[in-house]
Amino acid sequence: MNRKTKEKTRQEQAEETKERIRRVALELFSTKDYGTVTVSMICRAAHVSNGLLYNYFPSKESILLDEFYKADQRYLEIERSFYEGQPAKERMLLLMQAIWGSVCHSGILSQRAIRVAYINILKNGVSEALSLDRPVWAITRNIIHYAKERGELRAGYSSFDASLLFTILSIGFVSTSLWDIVQKDVDGYEKEFFHVIDLALDGVFQNPDGL
């Protein structure tokens, strides 16, 4: 086995260890009260030392936040797929679809992880997960700015108001749904979510000619 192969193997082992820690932690967060789960408990269940866990995750909260960082990468991919001249309404719909997909079609474990994160945020205050500096909200603001430049923002809406509307809708509706999303009908939630989004899209955006 050459050096390059050995290095690749070490990297793969490191990724496997990180994934094992993540999955074990998320299982514990899903089955126990988040506040009672300690780093030591996670390490014992994952069969790693505390020091090794800290090599991958600086804190217990960072394991949860990692789920949001992964989602942010998907949102950035959506933004890179936007084409010149694409209607702002279409861009916003694609972003809302990506947000819903990240939460409700990413596997039960991830659904529970994000659900636990939201519940913890509601109990203990705002964390990085809902920071307005996250890429998903920056993309939302970019779409609104793009709409205003192209004359696609309806009269009566400022850029701030329109951005805030879609931010509140996506955070509020999805996080509320997550309280029971694992047990209930995802398709039913999805229809309701996009019914509200469609109303918001029609209310905020117009064609460049004002129609």
Fold of 63-211: Tetracycline Repressor; domain 2 (1.10.357)
Ramachandran category for residue 157: left, alpha or beta (phi over 0 → left; psi -120 to 50 → alpha): beta
- CATH 1.10.10.60 describes domain 1-58: yes
Q: Where in the chain is the domain with CATH 1.10.357.10?
A: 63-211
pLDDT at 44: 96
Tell me what pLDDT residue 56 has: 94
Q: What is the pTM of this model?
A: 0.74
**Are 60 and 39 within 8 A, CB to CB?**
yes
Residues of the chain with CATH 1.10.10.60: 1-58
Tens-digit pLDDT string for the chain (211 aa)? 555 555 568 888 999 999 999 889 888 877 887 788 899 999 999 999 999 999 999 988 888 777 778 788 889 999 999 999 999 999 999 999 988 887 766 655 566 666 666 666 556 554 566 677 788 889 999 999 999 999 999 988 999 999 988 888 877 666 665 555 544 556 677 788 888 899 999 999 998 765 5
Q: If DSSP codes are grouped into helix, strand and coil, which group holds residue 205?
A: strand
Q: DSSP letter at 154? A: P
